Amino acid sequence: MEWNIFSRSCPSRTSLAQIANKWTAMIVISLVAGPLRFGELHTRIEGISKKVLTDTLRSLERDGMLIRADGRYELTELGRTLEEPLKALQIWAESHIEDVLDNRDRYDSAADEIVLVAHLL
C-alpha cells in the first residue's frame, strides 16, 4: 500500500501531526544527546506544562519513538531518524528568527495603518 498524507483517510497524517508538534521537536532534540529524566526534560524545555510533557512522552512512546527505562527517556532507533530533520528545523528557526520578527513588525505596522485609515474615513 502507498501512503499519502494528502489523503484524508491516510494514517500517516497523524504521524506528521505528531512530529510537526513543537513539543515533540523539542523533546526529540533534547534526547539526541542521551537519555533524560522527566524532571530534566521539564527543566530544559521551558514553558511546557507537566501534563503536556507527560502526554507527549506517552504519545511518542506509543508510536515507538522513545522508550522509558530506569526512569529515563531515550530515543529508539526509529526516534533517532527524526534527529536530522528536526535539528534542521531548529537551525532554520534560530538562524532566521530576526528575519521573521522584522517581517512580523512590517506586517503589523501595515495592518495598523490600514485600520487607522479605515477609522478616519
Q: How confident is the model over 70-120, as pLDDT tens digits?
A: 999 999 999 999 999 999 999 999 999 999 999 999 999 988 777 667 766
Which CATH number covers residue 92? 1.10.10.10
pLDDT in tens, 28-72: 999 999 999 999 999 999 999 999 999 999 999 999 999 999 999
Q: What is the pLDDT of residues 11-21, one digit of tens each?
A: 999 999 999 99
How far apart (Å, rounded) are the C-alpha atoms in residues 37 and 66? Answer: 13
pTM above 0.75, yes or no: yes
Banded model confidence at residue 25, pLDDT cuts 50, 70, 90: very high
Domain range spanning residue 58? 12-120
CA 116, CA 121: separation in Å to the nearest integer?
9
Q: Which three cell numbers stand for residue 26?
A: 523539542
Looking at the domain assignment, is residue 94 inside a domain? Answer: yes
Residue 4 lies in a domain: no
Q: Which residue has the cell 544527546?
A: 33
Number of domains in the chain: 1
Taking only Cα atoms into account, the Rg of the chain, rounded to an integer number of angstroms, comes to 19
Burial 8-38 (b: 16+ CB within 10 A, else e): eeeeeeeeeebbeeebbbbbbbbbeeebbee
Residue 46 lies in a domain: yes
* DSSP-derived pairing of the beta strands 66-69 and 72-75: antiparallel
Strand order in the sheet with 72-75: 36-37, 72-75, 66-69
> Considering the domain boundaries, does residue 23 fall inside one?
yes
Q: Which three cell numbers stand for residue 12?
A: 500517516
Residue 102 in domain: yes
Percent of the chain with pLDDT over 70: 95
Is residue 81, in this structure, part of any structural domain at all? yes
- Residue at 5 is within a domain: no
